[in-house]
Chains A and B, each alone.
Chain A
Amino acid sequence: MGYFSNIYNGIKTLLTGMSVTGKYFLHSRKGAITQQYPDNRDTLKMFDRFRGEVIMPHDENNEHRCTGCQKCEIACPNGTIEIIWDRGIDETTGRKKKKIDQFIYHLSMCTMCGLCIDVCPTDAIEWGQNFENSVYDRTALTRVLNLPGSKLQPGVED
């Protein structure tokens, strides 16, 4: 009887498969995953884990969390990150202390591997969602991530 049960199972499994794709077909109107990009530019929201570019978030007092430890610079496999640092006088203790002058990020060299973000002990840098990075001049891809006049958020090093 293996012959007929083969036919029965064959038809049953084929119909199961067709019902699955049939459901997809009926729901394709609402559930389409295609983004019609330039049209929905205003409403388009990238997903949380999207790796667009490295950004350094600043709070409302123009303070970032980067201590200038340079771990990200060491971790970066292709020299995308360059930290120009300086020694300044710390107001509270009065001692000389390392602080960043410019956190330079070469987007044109970045492979979006994410090692810098994994290695950062103070979560100073993270992934940004922006992906519209095309420019006419490649120097525009070299960015200074810390805003001018920004300083270290107090309490990060504790």
Chain B
Amino acid sequence: MKYGLSVITTIHDWLYSVMPEWLAGLVEMILIAMVYLGIFSVAGLFLVLLERRVAAWFQLRIGPNRVGFQGLLQTMADALKLLSKELTGTQKADKFLYNLAPYFVIITSLMALAVIPFTAEFHAFDINIGVFFLIAISSIGVIGILLGGWSSNNKYALIGAMRSGVQTISYELSIGLSLLTMILLTGTLQLSEIIEVQKSGWLIVQGHIPAVIAFMIYMIAGTAETNRAPFDLVEAESELGAGFHTEYSGMKFAYFFLAEFINMFIIAAIATTVFFGGWLSPFGITESIPWLGVLWFLIKTLLLVFLMMWFRWTFPRLRVDQLLTLEWKYLLPINLVNIVIMALLIWGNLIIKF
């Protein structure tokens, strides 16, 4: 990472030497955004491939293994196909909102990526309200879903979108509160400082029982937030066609699809940062080689992504009433009690620190 960092500083210095300061700042922001866009649209495609292979293995199948070595280029080919497809739409759709919706979804999920610390240096936007920003951004995405469902002028799309609204409003609470439980431990919302705190033990170890409960609640609510099975009643193939994106085709559909997978990655990345020490290696075994942080971060994140895929291919879909019962009668009260327990633990200094 040291070499990579020197390249970045060279570009930075060069930009500021040839342009006025405001323009250089702007160009730099655009460049960084482009890099993130490039990396994560490809990473999203590979997540789709991973999902398909993992799903196949869960169902005793083999999965796509024809395009490229072990099917590595399969989703690339799919994306190219989707790019070249015609963009159709319903005749009575609200054209403006209909075209706007996919961008809402994809932009919010890419915005959330900016604050995630991949390693100490690879961290685009380290604001002091990191966790708060993530929670806020991740709930904007649902506006895109609602817009898409509403403007499609299709009853299935509308039902799907409304379900998504219900789901996100409910589970947003659980995500926020479970992260708040961990914020009690760290005392800061800034993601880089949250990782600093974990140098004396990952938060899931520091906070032991309430942290494990908070992690379980976070994973359940996070799965709901990404609209994946068992909480996929937004899309619910068997009931609603494809839910809110029934009427979308081509690249607009691909945006929704990609956003779902990037959201899954974000949820796993937040969990990695807040519960599992982010880019810190277990027991500090590779502390002397800082660029390995990216590797550790990706390993932990992909393990959590795998956990979410495991959920998806094991559990049946919930009904709407079950969904709301789970949130309002179980997760929310447990979460509130959990925060009190965590506060008491910190007050009594019962947390585990190495």
Contacts and interface: CB of A to CB of B under 8 A. Distances in A.
Contacts of A17: 314-315
A7 B330 contact: yes
B122 interface: no
B310 A32 contact: no
Interface stretch (B4-12, B56-64, B146-154): B56-64
A133 to B, nearest CB: 24
Given A28-B60, A32-B60, A32-B61, A22 B310 contact: yes
Given A21-B58, A25-B54, A29-B57, 20 more contacts: A7-B330, A7-B334, A14-B314, A17-B314, A17-B315, A18-B310, A18-B311, A18-B314, A22-B310, A24-B58, A24-B59, A25-B57, A25-B310, A28-B58, A28-B60, A28-B61, A33-B61, A34-B56, A34-B60, A34-B62
Interface size range of chain B in the complex: 10 to 19
A115 to B, nearest CB: 34
Given A7-B330, A28-B56, A34 B314 contact: no
B313 interface: yes
Contacts of B60: 24, 27-28, 31-34
Contact of B315 (A14, A25, A29, A32): A14
A43 interface: no
B324 to A, nearest CB: 15
Interface of B: 54, 56-62, 310-311, 313-315, 330, 334
B330 A32 contact: no
Contacts of A5: none
Given A7-B330, A28-B56, A28-B57, A21 B313 contact: yes
B314 A21 contact: yes
A30 B163 CA distance: 40
A25 B58 contact: yes
A88 to B, nearest CB: 55
B37 to A, nearest CB: 33
16 contacts: A7-B334, A14-B314, A17-B314, A18-B311, A18-B314, A21-B58, A21-B313, A21-B314, A24-B58, A25-B54, A25-B57, A25-B58, A25-B310, A28-B56, A31-B60, A32-B62
Nearest to A7: B330
B58 A34 contact: no
Nearest to A17: B314
A20 B59 CA distance: 11
A36 B62 contact: yes
Contacts of A18: 310-311, 314
B2 to A, nearest CB: 39
Nearest to A16: B314
Nearest to B230: A14
Interface string A8-52: 000000100110111011011101111010000000000000000
Nearest to B63: A34
A33 B60 CA distance: 6
Contacts of B61: 28, 32-34
Nearest to B66: A36
Contacts of B315: 14, 17
Contacts of B314: 14, 17-18, 20-21
